[in-house]
Amino acid sequence: MARNFNVAAEKLGLDEGLREVLRRPDRELTVALPVLMDDGKLKVFTGYRVQHNFSRGPCKGGIRYAPDVNLDEVRALSAWMTWKCAVVDVPFGGGKGGIICDPRTMSLGELERLTRRYTAAIMDILGPDRDVPAPDVNTNEQTMAWVMDTYSMHVRRTTTAVVTGKPLVLGGSRGRREATGRGVMLTCREALKKLGMRPENTRVVVQGAGNVGGIGAELMHREGYKIVSISDMYGAIANEKGLDIPAVMAHQKKTGRLAGFPGARELTGEAALELPCEVLVPAATENQITSKNADRIHARLIIEGANGPTTDSADAILEKKGVMIVPDILANAGGVTVSYFEWVQDRMGYFWTEQRVNTSLEQIMVKSFDDVYAMMQKYKCSMRIAAYILSIDRVASVYRLRGVFA
pLDDT tens digits for range 376-404: 999 999 999 999 999 999 999 998 998 87
C-alpha 287/C-alpha 252 separation (Å) is 25
Instruction: Concatenate the DSSP letters of all residues of 203-216 into one string.
Output: EEEEE--STTHHHH
The residues that bridge with 187 in the sheet, in sequence order, are none
Whether 284 and 207 have beta carbons less than 8 Å apart is answered as yes
Length of the chain counted residue by residue: 406
Query: Torsion angle, CA of 153/53/311/198, rounded to 10 degrees?
Result: 80
Residue-range domain boundaries for the chain: 10-170, 179-331
- Per-residue b or e along 125-152, where b marks 16 or more CB atoms closer than 10 Å to that residue's CB: ebebebbbbbbbebbebebbbbbbbbbe
- Backbone φ and ψ for 24, nearest 5 degrees, come out as -95, 140
Within 10 A of 266 (CB to CB), how many other CB atoms are there?
16
Q: Would you please indicate which residues are annotated as catalytic (active-site) residues?
A: 96
- Backbone φ and ψ for 279, nearest 5 degrees, come out as -125, 135
C-alpha 217/C-alpha 392 separation (Å) is 31
Q: Is the pLDDT of residue 178 over 80?
A: yes
Nearest residue to 99 via CA among 127, 71, 76? 71
Nearest residue to 89 via CA among 341, 364, 335? 364
C-alpha 168/C-alpha 351 separation (Å) is 10
Give the pLDDT confidence of 197-250 residue by residue, as tens digits: 999 999 999 999 988 999 999 999 999 999 999 999 999 999 999 999 999 999
**Which residue intervals of 156-282 are DSSP H helices?**
179-195, 213-222, 245-255, 269-272
In three-state secondary structure terms, 279 is strand
10-170 maps to which CATH number? 3.40.50.10860
Superfamily of domain 179-331: NAD(P)-binding Rossmann-like Domain (3.40.50.720)
C-alpha 206/C-alpha 221 separation (Å) is 11
User: Amino acid letter at 405?
Assistant: F
Rounded CA Rg of the chain = 21
Q: Which residues does 207 contact at the CB level (< 8 Å), separation at least 6? A: 213, 230, 231, 236, 269, 272, 273, 280, 281, 282, 283, 284, 288, 306, 309
Nearest residue to 230 via CA among 193, 205, 262? 205
Give the pLDDT confidence of 69-121 residue by residue, as tens digits: 999 999 999 999 999 999 999 999 999 999 999 999 999 999 999 999 999 99
Q: Is the pLDDT of residue 3 over 90?
A: no
Whether 359 and 113 have beta carbons less than 8 Å apart is answered as no
The whole-number pLDDT of residue 211 equals 87
C-alpha 96/C-alpha 228 separation (Å) is 35
C-alpha 32/C-alpha 50 separation (Å) is 15
**Which residue intervals of 36-140 are DSSP H helices?**
71-87, 108-121
The whole-number pLDDT of residue 406 equals 63
In this prediction, residues 31-54 reach a mean pLDDT of 97
Identical fold for domains 10-170 and 179-331, yes or no, is: yes
The whole-number pLDDT of residue 23 equals 93
Average pLDDT, the chain: 95
In three-state secondary structure terms, 155 is helix
Angle between helices 71-87 and 383-402 (to 10 degrees): 90
Half-sphere exposure of 49 (CA within 13 A, CB side): 24
**Banded model confidence at residue 36, pLDDT cuts 50, 70, 90:** very high
The whole-number pLDDT of residue 403 equals 86
